[in-house]
Amino acid sequence: GMTLTLAKSPGKLPFSGSEFQRNGTYGYGRYEAVLKASEAGGAVASFFIYTGPHFGDPHDEIDFELLGRTPRSVYVNYFSRDDKDQLEVPLWFDAAQDYHLYAFEWAPDSIRWYVDGVKIREVSAKTASVKIPTTTARVMVNLWAGVGPSAEWTGQAEFSRTTATYRCISHVPMGQTAAQCSDAFKAPPKP
């Protein structure tokens, strides 16, 4: 596991965040992370796959974003060639108080998002307003602060230091079996 830190910065930017990228690119399959989000307003703890112009690819992305200002909901988003589909989904817990399992299954014709084994969203290529992403991507997690225009969404960052902790990150390619975060994770009881 790892703990990412976000802190006020004395440098040019107001905050210094943290990011982890797994080596290589990954395609269709099941992605999982066990994490405890930040409780600080203005902070965003994310688990996602991403590729874009920096890597010589179109912008394709699938993510979970947990905002400290709204700890009882999660944003499940995806991008395909810069087109974006975003949805805020209510949670039955405070994401900053305990560890939970966040997972998504990416296939050529669909994306399904899960929290603690419960499906919270599904998009199908047949009915989606934005096409399903197709480009292999990097597995990433980060902790960042909204500043400028993004602070309208994240809330104003008014903290000195905050953290988000990731216990496990896994990927199993579509049609294969292998060890996953969910093998050893037991979700906290529902309130």
| Helix, strand, coil distribution of the chain in percent, nearest 5 | 5, 50, 40
* Per-residue model confidence as pLDDT tens for the chain (191 residues): 999 999 998 877 889 999 999 999 999 999 999 999 999 999 999 999 999 999 999 999 999 999 999 999 999 999 999 999 999 999 999 999 999 999 999 999 999 999 999 999 999 999 999 999 999 999 999 999 988 899 999 999 989 999 999 999 999 999 999 999 999 999 998 87
Cα four-point dihedral sign 151, 157, 161, 164? negative
pTM of the model: 0.96
* Of 32, 39, 65, 105, catalytic: 65
Structure tokens at 109: 């014709």
Structure tokens at 120: 């919270």
* DSSP-assigned states of every residue in 113-129: EEETTEEEEEEETTT-S
Does the active-site annotation cover 39?
Answer: no
pLDDT tens, residue by residue, 81-109? 999 999 999 999 999 999 999 999 999 99
pLDDT tens, residue by residue, 22-32? 999 999 999 99
* Of 32, 39, 61, 105, catalytic: 61
Structure tokens at 73: 């909901």
What's the mean pLDDT when you consider all of the chain?
96
Does the active-site annotation cover 61?
Answer: yes
How far apart are the C-alpha atoms of 68 and 147, rounded to whole Å?
14
